[in-house]
Structure 1
Amino acid sequence: MWQLILPTALVLTAFSGVRAGLQKAVVILDPEWVRVLEEDNVTLRCQGTFSPEDNSTKWFHNQSLISHQDANYFIKSARVNNSGTYRCKTALSTLSDPVQLDVHIGWLLLQTTKWLFQEGDSIQLRCHSWKNKPVNKVTYLHNGKGKKYFHKNSEYCIPKATYNDSGSYFCRGLIGQKNISSASIHISIGDPMSPSSFPPWHQITFCLLIGLLFAIDTMLYFSMQRGLQSSVADYEEPKFHWSKEPQDK
């Protein structure tokens, strides 16, 4: 019995560890663009679980700890040296996945919310000017061909991405009398069934542990049943030898 109960206890301990590992912090960009121009303002928000004793947040820029402990990290008038990866963690949350922020110099920048999309995702693109100067007669181009034209600057949305939407994008428009084009960016459309789209390792481990726990409990149940049946089978009713009392002779 104890030989089966001990593995069950170990699985339950591991199961608790996995549940704790599921608490991962998340970094969110506000606004959500991963590419910005110098002098743009950006806020990075850390979503995680805090303890009553410790409500501080640890922030990392390019793997180096930065001296900021608030859940919101505000970058005012961004500079190129603000580019890089950002991660955060809280008292009850593990280190987040990295979020890349790129700061560029120029008059016009094509912005995107991420680089890799899945089929069916909505793609949002923005032709962004330095200090938000007015841009007119804006054209969005895909692989060198015009895709969308706006008399007044506006965001370009692809409601449901397909493989054909992969490729190079840039925008151009008029700032004052100057005809300006942005640099090109490459956007990829992935397969939802690709390995990168599979559940994270800790979710797979969680499911395996649940299955293992069920198997051990089942083995324990049938082992107890066999033990009870064996006890009944080994039981023999005692035989009594009756003798008559003297007066019955």
Structure 2
Amino acid sequence: MWRRLPPTALFLVVWGDLQAADLPKAAVSLDPPWYRVLTNDSVTLKCQGASLPGNKSTQWWHNGTLISSNTSTYFITAASPKDSGEYKCQTSLTTLSDPVNLEVHIGWLLLQAVGQVFKEGEKITLRCHGWKNKQVYKVTYHQNGKSQKYFHRNTVFEILNATGKHSGSYFCRGLIGKNNVSSESINIMVQGQAMPFIAPIFSSWHQVAFCLGMTVLFAVDTALYFFIQSDLRSFMGDWRNRRVKWKNQTAKLEEPQSQGPWDK
């Protein structure tokens, strides 16, 4: 007898014909976007990627160790040095993401950035961050030992159109209370022209096409199930009718005939 495959089983059949290379990668993002934070800062990591209907579980890895299999968001409420390292994630319809590195520093002042390597034409964003979000006054941003920008109060420093001349060592200095403090330096590198924004678009269309394919397969499976069920009911009805007719005919053939006066 034909039986309808449940959606999960149907997916596993299709999954068996797919290779890991056919699936898009998951992606990890930071919120706020700074990969360098101070102790006691809160950090949210988000996993982006398609999931199976009814299966939204997400696996998280920290320095190669599985740490969670629940939601697409991983929270760090009060960061400590032990939270430093590489984070990866994976959903039910993606392969393992590229690593995102988180650095947790100890100190009063930290120069934060969204990355260390940029393409020409991209925006570089820097932030002079005080411990426990303390206000920083008379902030100066330095590149290769030279002052580049001054703010009376702590303000994000943006370089809108990065070029090779913006590569170098950066740090910031400012007042926290009466203390004049400086951050550690970080190295920023600006490389050739930025590539067109193609790969993420292709990846999203790849996910959409895959999900549409799964939806079509599920619809075909459902339609096939109801068709077979209907056809099977019709067949069973015909078979019962033919069986009843056959029994009636057999009974008539076996019924004894009455004897005539000549048979006596």
TM norm. shorter chain > 0.5: yes
Gaps of 5+ in 1: 1-15, 207-249
Q: Could you say if the C-alpha distance between residues 199 and 53 of structure 1 is closer, same or farther in structure 2, counting changes exceeding 3 Å?
A: closer
TM-score, scaled to structure 2: 0.66
Superposed CA offset, 1:9-62 (max 9, x none)? xxxxxxx95796342111010000010000000000001111014210000001
Aligned ranges for residues 209-248 of structure 1 at < 5 Å? none
Runs of 4+, deviation exceeding 2 Å? 16-22, 197-200
Give how far 1:113 is off: 0.2
Q: Please state if 1:180 is matched with 2:178.
A: no
Give how far 1:116 is off: 0.4
Q: Could you say if the C-alpha distance between residues 48 and 199 of structure 1 is closer, same or farther in structure 2, counting changes exceeding 3 Å?
A: closer
Superposed CA offset, 1:58-103 (max 9, x none)? 0000111113421100001100010001000011111111000000
Question: Counterparts of 2:49 and 2:199 in 1: how far apart (Å)?
Answer: 20
Q: Please state if 1:191 is matched with 2:192.
A: yes
Residue 173 of structure 1 aligns to a residue whose secondary structure is strand
TM-score, scaled to structure 1: 0.70
- What is the root-mean-square deviation of aligned Cα atoms in Å? 2.6
Letter in 2 for 1:71: S
Percent identity over the alignment is 54
Bigger Cα Rg: 2
Contact kept? 1:21, 1:94, Cα under 8 Å: no
Aligned ranges for residues 1-249 of structure 1 at < 5 Å? 17=18, 21-192=22-193
Gaps of 5+ in 2: 1-16, 207-264
Question: Counterparts of 1:152 and 1:37 in 2: how far apart (Å)?
Answer: 19
Letter in 2 for 1:65: L
Question: Counterparts of 1:72 and 1:52 in 2: how far apart (Å)?
Answer: 18
In the other structure, the counterpart of 1:238 is: none
Count, aligned residues: 187
Contact kept? 2:44, 2:74, Cα under 8 Å: yes
The structure, 1 or 2, with the larger RCO (C-alpha pairs under 8 Å, 6+ apart) is 1
